[in-house]
Structure 1
Amino acid sequence: MSVAPLACVIVDDNEINRLTLEHLVDLSPELTLTASLASGLEALEFFRQGGHCNLLLLDVEMPMLSGLELAKLLPRPGPAIVLVTTHREFAVAAFDIQAVDYLVKPVEFGRFQQAVARVMAAQPAAPTPPPPATPASSELFVKVGTKTVRVNFDEVLYIEALSTYSVLVTPTHKHIVYLTLKALSERLPFAHFVRVHRSYIVNTRRIEAIEDGLLKLMQYEIPIGKSYQEEFMRRLESL
């Protein structure tokens, strides 16, 4: 699955350095340039106006407002910060502002990519999608003949294949549905309906007994196909 590129902002008062960083960002498919700013004050205004980024490439030494001062004024949680400077002695300061990495000018592309990889690794994991919701009701609408009928599936004992149709069997009715058994089984959202035979799906909540390879549901007896036995017993134990 493809990952959206990280929004990147460059802040450096030196135009040549900014152009160099812009070129490195352009060469990195993981990044997209949001803004390239010439001073810490411009950057501060950018963020105060609601600007956003995932990665801030930040020069340390700038007039009026240094990169370190700017970093301390940013809202939290803020963007991942990579300091870019000509002086190695700012490494301790980088640690103090919790910068993800620290690049020394002139920045080489290989070293720049290492920093980008560290930023990518530090990004929060995408939230796990919630499981599909269990239907609040056991009732579904199904097409029976020329009508669409509301059926309470708690009352369905089993479903039987009938050529290209299916039959929903309840204690009092038999509904012929214009769907194959396979198509109907794929639409059922209820885990307690289990295929036990090439011609039958049963409501496990209505099984009264299992004897001699037959499922007893009221007055009906449904065979368990040999190829379905193992999966049926496993499903039965998990319900």
Structure 2
Amino acid sequence: MNSTAAAPLACIIIDDNEINRLTLERSVQRHDQLTLAASFPDAVEALAYFHAGGRAEVLLLDIEMPHLSGLELVKLLPDPKPAVILVTTHASFAVDAFELRVLDYLVKPVGYARFCQAIARVTEQYQAPAAPALPAAAGPASATLPTDISASGTDLFVKINGKLLRINFEDVLFIEALSTYVVLVTDKHKHVVGGTLKSIEERLPFRHFVRVHRSYIVNLHRVEAMADNLLKIGPHEVPVSRPYQEEFAQRLRAL
């Protein structure tokens, strides 16, 4: 783990299952970049905490709870919202989680290594430095990938629900990792694909897609602007993290 002397991030846990809640508490206490601010067995109680002025940088949130679900709670959280990591026994909520822009999605039982991976995404978000300005030449600009990717021009066939779907990758704004899934985001659709971002990055035949973050690959042709460390792509904002800034800038200049 990173030994940088950064202030620990305040973390809140919400889970109606006591065993799961205690397991998450132990994981938070073991992590040197987190401090446990509060732990609740009920989303309603947690919402009252936030409305009373309680704050946290990280929220570990169960989805299926009585009275108020985790997804419903996310919609009701006052600003500034914490980085939300959903924790659930069902992978079927992945698309709903993506719609709410949660940072990560963990499927129970959650191993400590996977927990640390999710927290690394949070710390990267909070510690990301400002990204370089765009070069002058740059202007506005539940599925699996089949093992035999077939591409033609800007099209790519992706297997979704047992069928091969033709996707025009000029329409793909960016690709985001979400737990054990990857989401292809277009202007009109979000296609959830099983697998890792690395495996998809290695198999994409299109040079205008570039990794800008451990969780994002963007379509350079669709980047409209950059401010600080965020790319504006349609209605979305995508972060650029330090390890990828130099390559990103070089690829922009080569357009």
Question: Aligned AA for 1:59?
Answer: D
CA contact 2:62–2:70 (8 Å) conserved in 1: yes
- 1:99 is paired with a residue of what secondary structure? coil
Residue of structure 2 in register with 1:152 after alignment: none
Return the alpha-carbon distance in structure 2 between the equivalents of residues 125 and 27 of structure 1: 23
Query: 1:41 aligned to 40, 44, 47, which one?
Result: 44
Query: C-alpha separation between the residues in 2 aligned to 1:118 and 1:124?
Result: 10
| Candidates 25, 28, 33, aligned match of 1:25 | 28
Give the distance between the partners of 2:34 and 2:83, measured in 1 at CA. Answer: 13
What root-mean-square deviation, in Å, do the aligned CA atoms of Structure 1 and Structure 2 show?
Answer: 1.4
CA positional deviation for 1:94: 1.1
Counterpart code for 2:65:
M
Sequence identity percentage: 58
Partner residue of 1:67? 70
Once the two structures are superposed, residues 80-104 of structure 1 have per-residue CA deviations (whole angstroms, 9 ceiling, x without a partner) of 0000000001111111111100000
| Structure 2 residue 67 is the aligned partner of structure 1 residue 53 | no
TM-score by length of 2: 0.48
Flag structure 1 segments of 5+ consecutive residues without an equivalent: 128-239
Match of 1:16 in 2: 19
Q: Distance in 1 between matches of 2:98 and 2:128?
A: 23
For the residues of structure 2 that align with 1:35 and 1:101, how far apart are their CA atoms?
Answer: 20
1:43-92 per-position Cα deviation (integer Å, ceiling 9, x unaligned): 10010110000000000000000000000001233000000000001111
Which whole-Å CA distance do the structure 2 matches of 1:54 and 1:120 have between them? 10
Maintained 8 Å contact 2:15/2:62: yes
Q: What amino acid does structure 1 have at the position aligned with 2:57?
A: N
Q: How many residues align?
A: 127
Paired amino acid for 2:37: T
Q: Of the two structures, which has the highest relative contact order with CA contacts closer than 8 Å and spacing of 6 or more?
A: 2
Whichever residue aligns with residue 75 of structure 1, its letter is P
SS at match of 1:123: helix
Partner secondary structure for residue 81 of structure 2: coil
TM alignment of 1:1-239, pairs within 5 A: 2-123=5-126, 125=128
Regions of 4+ moved over 4 Å? 124-127
CA–CA distance in structure 1, aligned partners of residues 129 and 11 of structure 2? 19
TM-score (norm 1): 0.51
Flag the 1:53–1:126 CA change in 2: closer, same or farther, 3 A.
Answer: farther
Classify the secondary structure of the residue corresponding to 1:76: coil
Once residues 50 and 124 of structure 1 are traced to their aligned partners in structure 2, the CA distance between those partners, rounded to angstroms, is 24
**Higher alpha-carbon Rg:** 1
Q: Secondary structure at the match of 1:22?
A: helix
Query: Which residue of structure 1 lines up, in the alignment, with residue 187 of structure 2?
Result: none
Deviation at residue 117 of structure 1 after TM alignment: 0.1
Q: List alignment gaps of at least 5 residues for structure 2.
A: 131-255
Deviations 1:28-47 (A, max 9, x none): 00100000001110110010
